[in-house]
Structure 1
Amino acid sequence: MTTENTTRRGFLRTGAAGVALGVAAPAYLRAQAAPLKIGHLTPTTGFLGPLGEYAQMGIKLAVEHVNANGGAGGRQIELIMEDSVNPQTASTKAERMFERDQVEMIIGEISSASCLTISQVAARYGKCFINTGGNSDSLRGQDCNRYMFHVETQNSMYVNAEGEFFRSQDMVDGKNWYTMTADYAFGHDLLSAAKAFLDANGGVLVGDDLVPTDATDFSSYLLKIRQAQPDVVALNLAGTQITNFLKQYGEFGLDFTLGGFGFDTVSAWAAGAQNFSGTWPNVWNHLVPNDASQAFVQAFTDAYGKPPENQAWGDYNAGLIMARAVAEAGDAGGDTLVAYLESDEAQFDLMKNRKGYFRPSDHQLIQEIYAITALPAGEAQNQWDIFTTSEPLPGADQPLETLAQSVTGGTCTL
């Protein structure tokens, strides 16, 4: 277990960046108030480990900035961090955080299966769990609960955004698709959303393979793809699976149109400019061109010596959102925070063009997302700037909820 008691150092280093990032002065101050204990669970080992490392950096920076600016409603945040490892361990550690450590909420996670077990524990204690990385539609559908909120976007939103790109390139109707799917809850759910999109838009699924999460050798799958000769290869993979696939895809010399329905920029960086290709949906990236976004990039780079990945963005913003919620609601109790986060005044600056809000019906943070497209290797400026970013999706003339329609995963009953 790691306990983080953060200081003013990071905020003083970034100066006015704290204000640009939305770390507003607390609504009220309580002298000598008890610390606000927040638990953070995320995998830092296994195939999701590289993402978990960015998640921890993001939440630590958020706590540093909030504490430097007066805390959450005058309460300094004490951060208690653990490696969630797997769903069973995540459940056990969540219980221990609530029972032994007396945390008032839990933030984090990447695995959709672990999100489910953490949310079940949080609901038993009547405390909030803020999911920052689990994409499964079912977490917003049949597996939703009153105390779980989602900063990360859901699979259907990514599918709808990426689908718009493929439609614009005439790569759907009548085209043959081959998908590769991570063999766990996230992948299965994403595949369901992808199939629904293809069925609705005339795409033909000529092959799909379920891939174990610990797979490192993709040669047998790549041979099958070569034989199938698809128009599009679409990945429903996660974590280091994507990195390994991208490296081997280039080695096999395949040039079918490549993309995916879920993506994290750490996979592109790990693959390198020489291997990264295609267009991918992305909740946020370090190239988003607005002042708040670039202030965060600078603060993160100053702190860690490299730009933030989208998972760092998620955990950082979750920290700011919950600090503001505690300050404005006046309490960290689960029911009080649920009422505030569902209210009309709970709209949040997310370093994007439009503010986001939690949809009361399923607690999904409704927000803009992006598409990133790989640069030719020769045009990469450094190891980080190896892709371009689109304008925000949906377009400014469309409602934010445009991408969050036609979802799978059942119906949410809160």
Structure 2
Amino acid sequence: MRMRTWKFVPMLALFLVVHEVPAATKVKVGVLVSMSSFISDLTGQGSVEAAKLAIEDFRKRHPGTTVELVSADHQNKPDVATGIVREWFDRESVDVLLDGAPSPVSLAVTDIVKDKNKVFLASSASHSDLSGKKCNPNTVQWTYTNWAFANGTGKAVVRQGGNTWFFMTADYAYGHSLEKETADTVKAAGGKVLGTVRHPVSAADLSSFLLQAQASKAKVIALANAGGDTINSIKQAAEFGVVPGKQNLAALNLYITDVHAMGLKTAQGLMFTTAFYWDLNESTRAFSKRFASRMNGKMPTQAQAGAYSSLLNYLLAVERAGSPGNGARVVAEMRNVGWFEDPLFGRTRVQENGGVQHAMYLTQVKTPSESRAPWDYYKILQKIPEELAFQPKEQTGCPLVK
């Protein structure tokens, strides 16, 4: 099978065998992120910087293309996000929307993108409906889905004896989706769900919810939340003596910035599934070194790596399409290349439901004694092959899949 290969040398210089872009080609990128909420550390300014790196790498080989970037803080409010997006599309000639987490924001803007025939690169949004029931020809869900997180972690934990589960879930669309996807996986693997409790987003005191989870006697307390909510859940679970004990925590969506914020002493032993780790190979290390030099030494999260990779692939698709003007056509170009070798995610392809296939990794947080250097936090337990890491497109409910 023919694959498009990107070979990298130091500084991640791109050697791409492609046609020249017409000098008149102009692309405007809008990075829609949260800059001051419970998820700002895992996306936020880091996604903006990752997008800038993608633009720089593309323009090294395509200096005739003008790529402009704008960014905005949606404040974690879908109505604010939709207002920004309409302004960008109607008045500022933005061609492509990047990032878009959390899920209520991404679900709110995806229909606008379709109506305006633009492109949405959902590089940090994980709600499975984006490549399922709400799929459209203009949206690409690049980095991960809730199904991928659930499939990787749920199966592994049940296989290791964690056959009774209790969910502690963030009370919004993302949390509900992640809980359902994981519960279905656990049941299919032979486990049981004993109950669930839902907590407000960004709640400072989670003690009552943790005590309910502890009282369930479930072997696994599953955290269907993200960012600051995950950090607070794990920290308070240790403070209240929920763990260590007879119960274990399963972080269903964990980011390297979460581990850094908690410290290895608190996070050690957590098992989770991730799409990216900075120390996987030479290409991921080269990109991450450049990223860290702009982010005060912070290594990129999987969402920020997704911002870089999805935007770079979009720009290459614009080059093949000849113009960013027809968003659905550009996304079709992203699909038409089939399997290719991505510098950060390895063997990758975009499917007709807008979902991207690449490998995922079952991962465990190292103990303090196992860590040899700053940000040396992960042990890769298993590579989940790209054909198995994501839900089969025929099962997603996407009406575009024939």
Corresponding residue of 1:138: 129
Contact 2:123-2:310 within 8 A present in 1 as well: yes
Q: CA deviation at 1:313?
A: 0.4
Change (3 A) 1:388 1:306: same
Q: How many angstroms apart in 1 are the aligned matches of 2:374 and 2:220?
A: 27
Corresponding residue of 1:38: 29
Corresponding residue of 1:6: none
Corresponding residue of 1:10: none
Contact 1:156-1:408 within 8 A present in 2 as well: no
Q: How many angstroms apart in 1 are the aligned matches of 2:185 and 2:15?
A: 39
Corresponding residue of 2:95: 104
Of residues 233, 248, 253 in structure 2, which corresponds to 1:245? 233
Change (3 A) 1:383 1:246: farther
Q: How many angstroms apart in 2 are the aligned matches of 1:130 and 1:241?
A: 25
Of residues 264, 267, 280 in structure 1, which corresponds to 2:272? 280
Contact 1:138-1:408 within 8 A present in 2 as well: no
Question: What letter is aligned with 1:199?
Answer: K
Corresponding residue of 1:355: 347
Q: How many angstroms apart in 1 are the aligned matches of 2:145 and 2:214?
A: 31
Corresponding residue of 2:196: 208
Query: Residues 55-88 of structure 1, C-alpha deviation per residue, up to 9 Å, x if partnerless?
Result: 12211222222233334xx312100111122211
Q: How many angstroms apart in 1 are the aligned matches of 2:141 and 2:358?
A: 11
Corresponding residue of 1:4: none
Corresponding residue of 1:393: 384
Map 1:210-359 → 2, pairs under 5 A:
210-253=198-241, 254-255=243-244, 256-277=247-268, 278-288=270-280, 290-304=281-295, 305-332=297-324, 333-345=326-338, 347-352=340-345, 354-359=346-351
Change (3 A) 1:15 1:342: closer
Question: What letter is aligned with 1:351?
Answer: L
1:135 aligns to what SS in structure 2?
Answer: coil
Q: CA deviation at 1:219?
A: 1.2
Q: How many angstroms apart in 1 are the aligned matches of 2:203 and 2:10?
A: 45
Question: What letter is aligned with 2:167?
Answer: T
Instruction: State which drifts further: 335-344 or 155-164.
Output: 335-344
Q: CA deviation at 1:348?
A: 4.6
Q: How many angstroms apart in 2 are the aligned matches of 1:162 and 1:59?
A: 29
Question: What letter is aligned with 1:401?
Answer: E
Structure 2 residue 371 is the aligned partner of structure 1 residue 380: yes
Bigger strand share: 2
Query: Residues 98-148 of structure 1, C-alpha deviation per residue, up to 9 Å, x if partnerless?
Result: 111101111111111111221111111111111011111112221111111
Q: CA deviation at 1:369?
A: 0.9
Map 1:191-206 → 2, pairs under 5 A:
191-206=179-194
Query: Residues 147-167 of structure 1, C-alpha deviation per residue, up to 9 Å, x if partnerless?
Result: 111112111111111123214
Change (3 A) 1:408 1:238: farther
Contact 1:28-1:327 within 8 A present in 2 as well: yes
Q: CA deviation at 1:365?
A: 0.6
Q: How many angstroms apart in 1 are the aligned matches of 2:395 and 2:159?
A: 27
Q: How many angstroms apart in 1 are the aligned matches of 2:333 and 2:21?
A: 19
Q: How many angstroms apart in 2 are the aligned matches of 1:369 and 1:87?
A: 29
Of residues 80, 96, 99 in structure 1, which corresponds to 2:70? 80
Corresponding residue of 2:389: 403
Query: Residues 245-275 of structure 1, C-alpha deviation per residue, up to 9 Å, x if partnerless?
Result: 1111222232222223222222111111121
Q: How many angstroms apart in 2 are the aligned matches of 1:70 and 1:309?
A: 27
Q: How many angstroms apart in 2 are the aligned matches of 1:231 and 1:57?
A: 40
Q: How many angstroms apart in 2 are the aligned matches of 1:224 and 1:283?
A: 31
Q: How many angstroms apart in 2 are the aligned matches of 1:106 and 1:346?
A: 23
Q: CA deviation at 1:351?
A: 2.3
Instruction: State which drifts further: 253-262 or 264-273.
Output: 253-262
Corresponding residue of 1:27: 19
Change (3 A) 1:282 1:206: same
Q: How many angstroms apart in 1 are the aligned matches of 2:395 and 2:235?
A: 32
Q: CA deviation at 1:410?
A: 5.9
Q: How many angstroms apart in 2 are the aligned matches of 1:25 and 1:402?
A: 30
State the identity %: 25
Q: CA deviation at 1:383?
A: 4.7
Superposed CA RMSD in Å reads 2.2
Q: How many angstroms apart in 1 are the aligned matches of 2:303 and 2:310?
A: 11
Change (3 A) 1:325 1:23: farther
5+ unaligned residues in a row in structure 1: which ranges?
Answer: 1-13, 395-399
2:399 aligns to what SS in structure 1?
Answer: coil
1:355 aligns to what SS in structure 2?
Answer: strand
Contact 2:21-2:322 within 8 A present in 1 as well: no
5+ unaligned residues in a row in structure 2: which ranges?
Answer: 1-7
Contact 1:292-1:351 within 8 A present in 2 as well: yes
Q: TM-score, structure 1 length as denominator?
A: 0.87
Q: How many angstroms apart in 1 are the aligned matches of 2:383 and 2:212?
A: 35
2:32 aligns to what SS in structure 1?
Answer: strand
Change (3 A) 1:41 1:157: same
Q: CA deviation at 1:347?
A: 3.1
Change (3 A) 1:251 1:380: farther
Q: TM-score, structure 2 length as denominator?
A: 0.89
